[in-house]
Amino acid sequence: MTAPAPPTRAKTTQQRRWQESLRAWVYIAPAGLIMLFITLLPQGYQIWMAFTDFRVQNLRFNILSPATWQDYAPPWIWFDNFVRIITSDMPIENYYFGRLLLFNVVWTISNVAFHVTLGVIIAMVLNGKYVLGRRFYRALYVIPWAMPPLIAAVTWHNMYDYRFGAVNLLLAQFNQVLGTSLPTDIRWMLEGTPPIGGLLQFLPLAYYCTLVANIWLGWPFMSVVATGALQAIPSEMYEAAEVDGASPWQRFWKITLPLIRPAMVPAIMLGSIWTFNQFNVIYFISQGGPLGRTEILVTQAYKLVLNHRLYGMAAAFSIVVFLILLVFTLVNNRVTQATEAYDVA
């Protein structure tokens, strides 16, 4: 009787791979189960709600009630919620989807433009060799980013109070010290347009108030990313460019900008998504006013639940927001190649 043949090298390698895969699945199984219950199941339930006319009467308040699921089940309406959202057939005053989406895009672009510009400029200034106290300043400018957005938004809202807010009180101090005649009772969140004419008249005064607050909150993140990217650039490259007679502007466009791009482009994408869904700043500072002119998509979806109890329509609204951001991310990723390796991009 012959002895069994020893296992081949291929079978041994395959068994090792199965063992490593099994070990990896065992490690991630607890996190996967938690994600299943706290993320995937609620998202699946939300998708189901979006295709139904789920209202407050469909909530089952008394779990001990003998009523069956059919007594609480909402009617299935398919894509009706999505059609009503897009066509502005909503039970909300001053609601128009096109204007809401346009303002959301303007809000995102204007904020991110300031975030990136200020972040890169300040990072470059503090990256200089002879800047005194730059470690202190770097720690200081992280405070707005590290502060909870809710606390920051409520603080800014109080600053814009037309009677006791810090902004109007500061204007009063300017009048007293400098002898100016600046208005000291500006209703920042209620005025329709800013007192300055020109192109600024197209957006309400509340937009510029929330813009200032969100710029203060957002630029430190871009500055932190830019600082890390700048410190990775070898100083010899700048020295060689300076010897060759390159101006500071040329050194910025030919060295700094290309080498910080791999870090800044993903940060810009992430910042755009955050700003597009910046609920705290809009809701807690302007509440979407005046007359809904500073509403963004996510605050409007929240008010569908808070004020109207239209849970199915709010669920559909959140899916619309997700699809818009998905298209934006895919297009932006294709154009900028943000997820490509540096040597490939």
Residues 84, 51 share a domain: yes
Q: What distance in Å separates the CA atoms of residue 161 and residue 286, rounded to the nearest whole number?
A: 11
Residues 341, 259 share a domain: no
Q: What distance in Å separates the CA atoms of residue 69 and residue 57, rounded to the nearest whole number?
A: 13
Q: What distance in Å separates the CA atoms of residue 55 and residue 61, rounded to the nearest whole number?
A: 13
pLDDT value for 73: 80
Residue 98 has pLDDT above 80, yes or no: yes
**Average pLDDT of every residue of the chain:** 85
pLDDT value for 345: 44
Residue 243 has pLDDT above 70, yes or no: yes
pLDDT value for 27: 87
pLDDT value for 145: 81
What is the tally of structural domains in the chain?
2
pLDDT value for 93: 78
Residue 149 has pLDDT above 50, yes or no: yes
Residues 294, 155 share a domain: yes
* Residue 323: domain span: 46-58+72-89+309-345
pLDDT value for 142: 83
Q: What distance in Å separates the CA atoms of residue 164 and residue 130, rounded to the nearest whole number?
A: 42
Question: For residue 91, which of 294, 278, 323, 300 has the smallest C-alpha distance?
Answer: 300
Give 275 or 132, the one with higher predicted confidence.
Answer: 275
Residues 293, 334 share a domain: no
Q: Is residue 20 part of a domain?
A: no
Task: Give whichever of 57-61, 72-76, 120-124, 340-344 has the largest mean pLDDT.
Answer: 120-124
pLDDT value for 24: 83
**pLDDT (average), residues 41-59:** 89
Residue 229 has pLDDT above 90, yes or no: yes
Of 63-77, 121-135, 140-154, 174-188, give the lowest mean pLDDT range.
63-77
Q: What distance in Å separates the CA atoms of residue 311 and residue 53, rounded to the nearest whole number?
A: 8
pLDDT value for 201: 66
Residues 178, 85 share a domain: no
Coil, strand or helix: which one is 51?
coil
- pLDDT tens, position by position, 133-147: 878 888 888 888 888
Give 46 or 345, the one with higher predicted confidence.
Answer: 46
Q: What distance in Å separates the CA atoms of residue 10 and residue 129, rounded to the nearest whole number?
A: 58
Positive or negative torsion for Cα 148, 155, 200, 299: positive
Residue 177 has pLDDT above 50, yes or no: yes
Residues 105, 77 share a domain: no
Q: Is residue 187 part of a domain?
A: yes
Residues 271, 197 share a domain: yes
Q: Is residue 114 part of a domain?
A: yes
Residues 125, 82 share a domain: no
Give 217 or 91, the one with higher predicted confidence.
Answer: 217
pLDDT band at 271 (very low <50, low <70, confident <90, very high): very high
Q: The CATH number of the domain where 120 resides is what?
A: 1.10.3720.10
Q: Is residue 8 part of a domain?
A: no
Of 21-30, 248-257, 259-268, 310-319, give the lowest mean pLDDT range.
21-30
Residues 82, 223 share a domain: no
> How much of the chain, in percent, has pLDDT values that exceed 90?
44
Residues 313, 302 share a domain: no
> CA of 66: how far to CAs of 73, 74, 86, in Å?
14, 18, 39
pLDDT value for 103: 94
Q: Is residue 27 part of a domain?
A: no
> How much of the chain, in percent, has pLDDT values that exceed 70?
88
pLDDT value for 332: 82
Q: Is residue 179 part of a domain?
A: yes
